[in-house]
Chains A and B, each alone.
Chain A
């Protein structure tokens, strides 16, 4: 036997109410979208903001006047003092910037100076080695000259032909 459409078992009140809630939420979302995209609403809210800002300014001016008459520091006075402190800090930071830049430059100069000193020391070492080589060569040449001078007396005056070729090799 087919079930009647209005059978109590088929009717789910919870599901129905949930569906209704979902529809309400979707409808509300769509409505808000429509409202917030509307030029009239946007223009009105923009004007409202302007009015609020003006009202706020007027209120603050009124407060400041009241405090001024009571010989109390106004918000504007405090802001001015804080602004001066901020500007002072900014000046100090600018000095710090400059000092850091100078330090960078000095570091760079120090590095360059160190590099130059290292290079100069290396050059001096090279020159010293070269000088030592030359000195050794001169010494050898002098020693050879002495031996050449002494040789004729020892081996009957024959030149040392074998030894003469050696300096070219040393050079």
Chain B
């Protein structure tokens, strides 16, 4: 661990110690100084293998623990505006690491960082070219060299990645065996403060976002900071508090990478997403068309887990939970987790509560599938029980 840098104002600290406001202000100053100077801990350390690349996108495979190996491949789809390592920030608290250790063949769609040449990528390209091909390669990798039909996958979409996963499952239900929508907004009119920022009366999407350029990271950072303005103050307090314990400080700085390392969005994608989702709220209506095909969520018939967080101001639960009623699935589980948008996968909540919950859900769904397949006499060959392969 890097030693803490010297504090030039340390001599003045006794003068303000114990005097509420001044003391807090001094701690914020020290926290800000530490945040500025300390190197960030390495992330994305869980061993993996790259199985597919296309343009900036990379699909990573996390091999399951052979002693516990079970079930179908799980494809984790993070938001396009975050780095994919947000689900692998710390080795002992990694979502992908936990799923692999629990025996699930886990794949991570790392969208990469788009360049100006990708500015014209639209939602159709993202869903039906990038994601479709990634899922195809995952299915081929999971099937192995033995041949036979391609197994459908479980999709685990986080935040915007959850929205995209739900859209994908509606467009290509035959590829998806189970869907987990984590903090995935679908009723965008309830999308909290971000929905207010980009509401049609306040934000002219045609003027503000060029289809020929990327949405700059700086703009997105400002928007995220404004979602919780006082959070920028209190986070410095948390860093200062953590600075007394190297392990806690490393954890806090790893979490900071989640917050500060955004990815620019292709302008065309951003325009379409903001207009169709946040300004016109088309997804639940079923009027969002992607490459001429309507995204009808009722076409999702696979088992569905809708997980939202009670203290989420990025994707409020009111925006996420309506997915449970919008699909044609007969097996829907809804969970409201007592944590925040980031805390669900970063920090102690994941390993204690959320990751075991996911493991149980995947095992239950896979178990039901095996039973159905055996009944249908198709289990041995790995064929899909629904017969839609």
Contact = CB atoms under 8 A, between A and B. Distances in A.
23 contacts: A14-B20, A17-B22, A18-B20, A21-B21, A25-B233, A28-B230, A29-B229, A32-B229, A36-B226, A37-B196, A39-B201, A42-B197, A42-B199, A46-B204, A53-B207, A53-B208, A75-B116, A79-B117, A79-B119, A85-B117, A86-B55, A86-B118, A93-B133
Contact of A82 (B18, B117, B140, B201): B117
B197 A45 contact: yes
B195 to A, nearest CB: 11
B337 interface: no
A52 B140 CA distance: 46
Contacts of B147: 107, 111
Interface string B204-225: 1001111001001001000000
Given A14-B18, A21-B24, A57-B210, A29 B204 contact: no
Contacts of A100: 136, 140
B97 to A, nearest CB: 29
Given A21-B21, A42-B196, A46-B208, A89 B202 contact: no
A49 B230 contact: no
Interface in A54-91: 54, 56-57, 60, 75, 79-80, 82-83, 85-86, 89-90
A49 B21 contact: no
A129 interface: no
A49 B197 CA distance: 11
Contact of B116 (A24, A32, A36, A82): A82
Given A37-B196, A42-B196, A111-B147, A89 B20 contact: no
B117 A86 contact: yes
Interface string B110-148: 000001111100000000010001001000100000010
B54 interface: yes
Given A17-B22, A111-B147, A43 B201 contact: yes
A50 B229 contact: no
A77 to B, nearest CB: 11
- How many chain A residues sit at the interface, stated as a range, is 35 or more
Given A29-B230, A37-B196, 5 more contacts: A14-B20, A21-B21, A24-B21, A54-B207, A79-B117
A57 B213 contact: yes
Interface of B: 18-24, 54-55, 115-119, 129, 133, 136, 140, 147, 150, 193, 196-199, 201-204, 207-210, 213, 216, 219, 226, 229-230, 233-234
Nearest to A107: B147
A95 to B, nearest CB: 12
A59 B18 CA distance: 50
A20 interface: yes
**Overall SS of chain A's interface:** helix
A133 interface: no
Nearest to A47: B204
Nearest to A13: B19
Given A20-B20, A82-B116, A36 B219 contact: no
A19 interface: yes
Contact of A17 (B20, B150, B202, B208): B20
A40 to B, nearest CB: 10
Contacts of A29: 229-230
Contact of A36 (B19, B136, B216, B229): B229
A103 to B, nearest CB: 10
A167 B29 CA distance: 108
B96 to A, nearest CB: 25
A97 interface: yes
Contacts of A79: 115-117, 119
A79 B119 CA distance: 10
